[in-house]
Amino acid sequence: MDFDLSHFSELKEKDFSRIGLMALEGRIVIEKAIEAKAEIIGLVCSEESAEEWLRNAAGKFPIERISHDKLCEIVGFRFHHGAIALARRPMLMPFNPEGRTGYDAYLCLWEVTDPSNVGALIRSAAGLGASGVLLGPGCADPYYRKALRASMGNALSLPLHTCDASTIASLVDSGFKVVAATLSPAAIPLGRYIPKRPLALIVGNEGFGIPAEIAAQCGTEVYIPMAAGVDSLNVVVAAGICMYELFGKSLLTRP
């Protein structure tokens, strides 16, 4: 694919996944992509940010320098990140629990449909010590531009895999402790569960949670005690609290 400014036009409306690409918005996401050795097709930057890109990335991929107003005109909205690039999408592979270490801890998402939530969950997982993120049925594309931006590029550095109901069964068979965050009467308060590795935490859709047949495969269900009159938390907040309790605290003692 030749580098052409028209590839960036009307960015909000484009589904780059159909042609095997992803849009990288802003310095942090682009730098994460470079660190992850993503194949960058080309970069467009405003004149104000051009010097740094030309100095640090010249020769690695094509760079087009244009005015900020022209950049906004091309992408179709007021763009504030200074630079945008196109790169080849990584291939998502099914998760195989065989050969994982006894210390592994994975976040599993089930029918999390909002790309910004998926991105923020990946960012939180990276910060709270997850070994990777498993993307179950119905999840938003982690390489969609909003998800990449919300993940602060961590979707390109943290291992991501697909999973399904058979994956949950294989996790259990492989010795993983599988914990579901639910509001079920069978759930126990999060603070009462003593985590053991390897571990997988499953969080579901904000509207209807984790399907009953998936929760039934899990060894434990946990909930976050909350003030009266509040029925639930945003999935990113809830997963962050659960990961801190189950993954993050152990960062202090991790070898």
Note the helical H segments in 128-215.
145-150, 165-173, 212-215
pLDDT band at 249 (very low <50, low <70, confident <90, very high): low
248: which DSSP letter?
Answer: G
pLDDT digit string, tens, across residues 73-123: 777 777 766 788 999 999 999 999 887 777 899 999 999 999 999 999 999
CATH architecture of 5-88: 2-Layer Sandwich (3.30)
Question: Are the C-beta atoms of 38 and 90 separated by less than 8 Å?
Answer: yes
107 phi/psi in degrees, rounded to 5: -95, 130
pLDDT band at 255 (very low <50, low <70, confident <90, very high): very low
Average pLDDT along the chain: 88
CB atoms within 10 A of CB 55: 8
pLDDT digit string, tens, across residues 171-185: 999 999 999 999 899
Residue 162 has pLDDT above 90, yes or no: yes
For the chain, residues classed under CATH 3.30.1330.30 are 5-88
Domain 93-252 belongs to what topology? Alpha/beta knot (3.40.1280)
Query: What separation in angstroms does the CA of 71 have from each of 9, 22, 54, 147, 153?
Result: 9, 18, 17, 21, 21
Give the whole-angstrom CA distance, residue 24 versus residue 57: 15
Closest CA to 238 of 65, 117, 90: 117
- Reduce the DSSP state of residue 45 to 3 states and report it: strand
Report the share of the chain in percent with pLDDT over 70: 94
User: Taking the complete model, does pTM exceed 0.85, yes or no?
Assistant: yes
Residue type at 196 in one-letter notation: K
Query: What separation in angstroms does the CA of 81 have from each of 46, 55, 78, 85, 142?
Result: 9, 18, 10, 11, 20
Question: Are the C-beta atoms of 88 and 39 separated by less than 8 Å?
Answer: yes
For the chain, residues classed under CATH 3.40.1280.10 are 93-252
Residue type at 107 in one-letter notation: L
How many Å is the Cα radius of gyration of the chain? Answer: 20
Give the whole-angstrom CA distance, residue 99 versus residue 91: 20
- 93-94 sheet: strands from edge to edge: 93-94, 160-162, 132-135, 105-110, 199-204, 177-181, 220-223, 188-189
When mean pLDDT is compared across 23-37, 43-57, 103-117, the lowest value belongs to 43-57
Give the whole-angstrom CA distance, residue 198 versus residue 181: 17
pLDDT band at 229 (very low <50, low <70, confident <90, very high): confident
Q: Is 20 left (phi over 0), alpha (psi -120 to 50) or beta?
A: left
